[in-house]
Amino acid sequence: MKKEEIFRGAATALITPFRDGTVDYDAFGRLIDWQIEAGIDGLVIAGTTGEGSTLSDEEHREVLKYAVERAAGRTPMIAGTGSNDTAYAVDLTKYACELGYDAMLVVTPYYNKATQAGLIRMYETIADASSKPLILYNVPSRTGVGIEPATYLALADHPMIAAVKEANGNISKIVETFALVGDRLDIYSGNDDQIVPLLSLGGKGVISVLSNVLPAETSAICKKWFAGEVRESAKMQLGYLPLINALFSEVNPIPVKAAMEAMGICGGEIRLPLTPMEEAHRQVLLSRMREAGVALK
């Protein structure tokens, strides 16, 4: 069953700005406005890049509420509602549905992990409770468990499971998933260095860290591809590779927060266990930003 497309192009996995240990809503609002005005194709709130795992329950709900109200329908909004506690993920998903989010990004359970049968039951439980579509988020390097292609196939016909954010990094597995699910699940790249490869297989875009820094340009990689300007799209993908690598030279979102601070958009404060970027890495990041034409403060 083909489901309605949530977004096409680049959705930013948005950072959550902090100041003195609390969410900096002034900076957050400016950031949301800037992303939308730059033409971003969607925003993901309180995901990995948004440090959702270090937000208290109250903060998580406040951040989701503030962001969707600030966006005011100007771009598709996706709420990070995943957890290793299925009951909590269900509650947060219901809350985000009530707020008016267009979709939920639901990561695989971390630490307690799961068998593939457990993943199927967990996702079906959350999807059954949701009035909005789910994007399944596969990032085994962080969670310790991956979604197998056969598991995607088993979930593909659920009416509320619409898409996948694939950050597995294993192209062979991703190819197998495309072959198995066909058009029953939309697939988005979860890695900025694999946007064009996944588009070439039939992907619908990317949930991006790079687009925090370059929203219009990351969206343009996708737009050019969809317009048939394949060489230009690939050229952009390869041209931004040094910056992409610098943005992942330390654990995300350490580098991207350093980048946003260097641009003067917000502070670079992060929460433990993450720590400020090492100076040697920061200097390389700044150099790559300049080379990419990013204006620094």
Number of neighbouring beta carbons within 10 Å of residue 21: 7
Number of neighbouring beta carbons within 10 Å of residue 283: 12
Can you give the length of the chain in residues?
297
Query: Pick the catalytic residue: 137, 152, 188, 240?
Result: 137
| SS3 label, residue 187 | strand
Beta-strand pair 18-19/22-23: antiparallel
Query: What is d(CA 257, CA 267) in angstroms, rounded to the nearest whole number?
Result: 7
Long-range CB contact pairs, 125-131, < 8 A, 24+: 125/86, 125/90, 126/81, 126/86, 126/89, 126/90, 126/93, 127/155, 127/158, 127/160, 127/161, 128/160, 129/90, 129/93, 129/94, 130/93, 130/94, 130/97, 130/104, 130/160, 131/97, 131/160
Q: Is 165 marked active-site?
A: yes
| Residue 108 near residue 78 (C-beta atoms within 8 A) | no
| Residue 210 near residue 13 (C-beta atoms within 8 A) | no
Closest CA to 213 of 249, 262, 251: 262
The DSSP secondary structure of 8-66, one letter per residue, reads SEEEEE----EETTEE-HHHHHHHHHHHHHTT-SEEEESSTTTTGGGS-HHHHHHHHHH
Tokens linked to 118: 């457990």
Query: Pick the catalytic residue: 101, 123, 132, 165?
Result: 165
Query: Which residues have a catalytic role annotated?
Result: 137, 165
